[in-house]
């Protein structure tokens, strides 16, 4: 930042990031800059419905570059290791392994979604706005992952949320899309109010907003357990909204169903991951001191959230008629699985349980995005949205259907994709920390999920196609994104070691 003026005393310079730290923020900056470039393109040539290629291409290149940057930083070991986190802007931003890991998730999802959107949005207006909003939301997510203070947490969370509201309502003349948008927005606004109030109470209990400062302030215990407790839970509520956890999940089925499918993909994968990223950081860094946990047992809260979330999500998903809504509920269910990581914190296996959650989010980023993008493909083909409408699709579009089957089985936790590994890692974590009840719930829900995921597979492959089933064309972008996601999902089964080490060490590094 250009604050290094000669007028200023030297200590100020220390807070300004040196050049190396610029590099650390490269993914975020790349995302933001791409959004700006898109603005420029749009202002040069507005209202161009046919210029989708350039826009989507630019956006995709931007996210891809950000992805590459994040991976490069991860590989280079920037900010990683115990105590190696890079603190920028006076602890307002932190770049460490976890932030980069999650940035990889966001940018991967964004890339896939943008590639798919190229076909989905063909001949539509407001494409530039669409990509800009998506990039800005991605930027917000990346910032969430590296937020170092409740202030940046809150603001970056809003940066991720506000474009999302608009994206959900993107199909302005579609009642479903608009209704989804208003519901998402209202629940979101309520949640952010609760979140803000929670932050104010945490500030009230500690006098600090910086995460590590809060931890320091709390390390000696506090008299204001009640205020802190309410604050912590309200903050948790804010994250629960973002991650679509019960009882802050109500927007999710509607939003995912009503939104354009690529946006659903984006929200259910990346946005959820972002919520978890920030939740993990806040709770692991700020609220972890033993003195807090004794009186404000937020692991109990997450325990309850996890239990209810996965149960409700899976049970509701089991009886859906529409595939997209089923996926929406299943997404709620998966939030419940990941919450186990938070519920099992401070039981002696922090690196393992959090790492497992992070791995699951990464795999989920691919498999769930892929699944929603397959829905996008179906919407593109206009085959209908119920399970029955998908009957026999396997005969018409075998490759996409194989990909979809990979997603479904991987989501269900069968060894056809990385979802198998990550889900069982979570289960390992739950068992290893003695959360047998959660493990049992996970078991029940997993069985149920197998049932409804396999319904999709059954429709695709086992049922006779309706006579009217006829698909037109094989859109390159959508196909590319779906198949790409499937390949990565599959490869993450044997290749899970590529990410598991990074995730677990990043998670371990959060704890001093």
Q: SS3 sequence, 221-290?
A: CCCCHHHHHHHHHHHHHHHHHHHCCCCCCCHHHHHHHHCCHHHHHHHHHHHHHHHHHHHHHHHHHHCCCH
- Nearest 5°: phi and psi at 95? -110, 115
Give least dist CB 155 to another protein, A: 5
Nearer to another protein, 55 or 171 (CB): 171
Q: Which is nearer to another protein, 11 or 20 (CB)?
A: 11
Q: How far is the CB of 73 from another protein (least distance, A)?
A: 18
Question: How far, in Å, CA of 406 to CA of 505, rounded?
Answer: 28
Q: Which two tokens stand for residue 221?
A: 């215990």
Nearer to another protein, 75 or 447 (CB): 447
Who contacts 180 (Cβ-Cβ below 8 Å, separation ≥6)?
Answer: 168, 169, 254, 255, 256, 257, 258, 259
Nearer to another protein, 108 or 320 (CB): 320
CB of 72 to another protein, least distance (A): 22
Whether 98 contacts 281, CB under 8 Å: yes
What angle (nearest 5°) sits at the alpha carbon of residue 64, between those of residues 60 and 67?
Answer: 145
Q: For residues 504 and 355, is the Cβ–Cβ distance under 8 A?
A: yes
User: d(Cα 170, Cα 120) in Å, to the nearest integer?
Assistant: 12
Minimal distance, residue 485 CB to another protein, in Å = 19
Smallest gap from Cβ 137 to another protein, in A, equals: 8
The helix (run of H) or strand (run of E) holding residue 87 is strand 86-88
Smallest gap, in angstroms, from Cβ of residue 424 to another protein?
7
The least CB distance from residue 481 to another protein, in Å, is 16
Residue (126 or 407) nearer to another protein, CB:
126
Distance of CA 433 to the CA centre of its chain: 25
- 12 vs 76, which CB is nearer to another protein? 12
User: For another protein, which is the closer residue by CB, 8 or 76?
Assistant: 8
* DSSP designation for 207: S
DSSP string across 454-497: HHHHIIIIISPPPTT-------HHHHHHHHHHHHHHHHTTGGGH
Euclidean distance between CA atoms 93 and 361, whole angstroms: 22
Q: In angstroms, what is the minimal distance from the CB of 289 to another protein?
A: 14
């Amino acid at each position: 930042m250009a604050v290094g003026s000669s007028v200023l005393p030297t200590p100020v310079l220390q807070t300004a990031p040196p050049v190396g730290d610029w590099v650390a923020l490269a993914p975020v900056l790349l995302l933001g800059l791409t959004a700006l470039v898109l603005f420029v393109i749009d202002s040069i040539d507005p209202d161009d419905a046919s210029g989708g290629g350039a826009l989507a291409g630019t956006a995709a290149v931007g996210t891809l570059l950000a992805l590459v940057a994040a991976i490069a930083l991860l590989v280079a070991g920037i900010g990683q290791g115990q105590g190696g986190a890079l603190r920028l802007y006076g602890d307002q931003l932190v770049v460490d392994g976890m932030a980069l890991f999650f940035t990889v998730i966001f940018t991967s999802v964004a890339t896939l979604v943008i590639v798919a959107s190229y076909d989905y949005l063909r001949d539509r207006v407001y494409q530039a706005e669409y990509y800009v909003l998506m990039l800005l939301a991605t930027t917000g997510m990346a910032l969430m992952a590296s937020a170092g203070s409740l202030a940046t947490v809150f603001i970056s969370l809003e940066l991720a949320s506000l474009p999302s509201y608009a994206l959900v309502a993107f199909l302005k003349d579609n009642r479903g899309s608009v209704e989804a948008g208003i519901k998402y927005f209202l629940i979101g606004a309520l949640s952010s109010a609760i979140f803000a109030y929670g932050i104010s109470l945490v500030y009230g209990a500690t006098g600090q907003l910086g995460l590590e400062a809060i931890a320091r302030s709390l390390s000696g215990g506090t008299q204001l357990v009640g205020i802190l407790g309410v604050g912590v839970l309200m903050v948790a509520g804010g994250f629960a909204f973002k991650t679509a956890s019960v009882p802050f999940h109500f927007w999710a089925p509607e939003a995912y169903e009503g939104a354009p499918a690529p946006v659903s993909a984006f929200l259910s994968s990346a946005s959820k991951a972002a919520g978890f990223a920030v939740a993990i950081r806040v709770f692991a860094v700020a609220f972890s001191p033993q003195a807090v946990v004794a009186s404000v047992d937020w692991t109990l809260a997450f325990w309850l959230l996890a239990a209810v979330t996965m149960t409700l999500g899976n049970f509701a998903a089991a009886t859906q008629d529409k595939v997209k809504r089923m996926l929406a509920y299943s997404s709620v269910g998966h939030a419940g699985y990941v919450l186990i990581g938070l519920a099992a914190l401070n039981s002696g296996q922090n690196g393992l349980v959090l790492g497992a959650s992070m791995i699951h989010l990464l795999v989920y980023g691919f498999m769930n995005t892929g699944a929603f993008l397959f829905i996008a493909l179906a919407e593109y083909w206009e085959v209908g949205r119920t399970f029955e409408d998908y009957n026999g699709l396997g005969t018409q579009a075998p490759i996409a259907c194989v990909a979809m089957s990979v997603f479904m089985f991987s989501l269900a936790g069968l060894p056809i994709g990385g979802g198998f590994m990550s889900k069982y890692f979570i289960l390992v974590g739950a068992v290893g920390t003695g959360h047998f009840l959660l493990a049992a719930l996970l078991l029940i829900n997993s069985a149920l999920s197998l049932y409804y995921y396999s319904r999709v597979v059954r429709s695709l492959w086992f049922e006779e196609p309706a006579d009217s089933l006829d698909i037109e064309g094989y859109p390159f972008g959508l196909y590319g994104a779906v198949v790409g996601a499937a390949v990565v999902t599959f490869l993450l089964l044997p290749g899970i070691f590529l990410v598991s080490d990074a995730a677990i060490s990043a998670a371990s590094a959060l704890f001093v």
